[in-house]
Structures are given as C-alpha cells and as structure tokens.
Amino acid sequence: MPEVSRFYGLVIALFYNDHQPPHFHAVYGESEAVFAIETLAVLEGRLPHRAAVLVLEWAAEHRRELREDWDKARAKLPLAPIEPLI
C-alpha cells in the first residue's frame, strides 16, 4: 500500500493503476474507506465517525497534493509524502 501520509492512527494511501474516479484510501485499524479526491465523498467502506472527520479535515487541506499524487501513481512515478494533520 503506497502510503502518502500517517496521523492519529490513520494511514492514507493511493494505489498504482487504481480505478477511476481519482480517490485515496484511508485505513484506521481494521476499518477502511475510499474517498473521492474531488468531492471528498465516501465511495466505499466506512471509518469510525471521528476518524472520518479527521480524514476529511486533512484531505480538504491537501486536495492539490492528492491530485498530484494521483497523477503520479497513474504514471507509475514515486508518490510525494503529504504533511500529516497536526
């Protein structure tokens, strides 16, 4: 799982050659959800409420970097780390 950020027990990852629309994966313990980069809507899965709120706060601040890493993943280039939520 190509990790781009980690904070408060959450791991944020993007996969190479993943399906459209542009999205990222958020893992918290045994829970996982997939979020659309453009709308931040949950495409599949579920996180505990507090974890989901943290992911949405972080993603809203880093949407540009997520888009850039999505493009890099599609081009099979190394992903850039993204600052965690502090």
The pLDDT, as a whole number, for residue 54 is 98
CA-based nearest residue to 26, from 66, 76, 64:
66
The pLDDT, as a whole number, for residue 1 is 74
Q: How far apart, in whole angstroms, are the C-alpha atoms of residue 15 and residue 80?
A: 13
**Model confidence pLDDT, tens digit, residues 15-73:** 998 889 999 999 999 999 999 999 999 999 999 999 999 999 999 999 999 999 999 99
**pTM, to two decimals:** 0.94
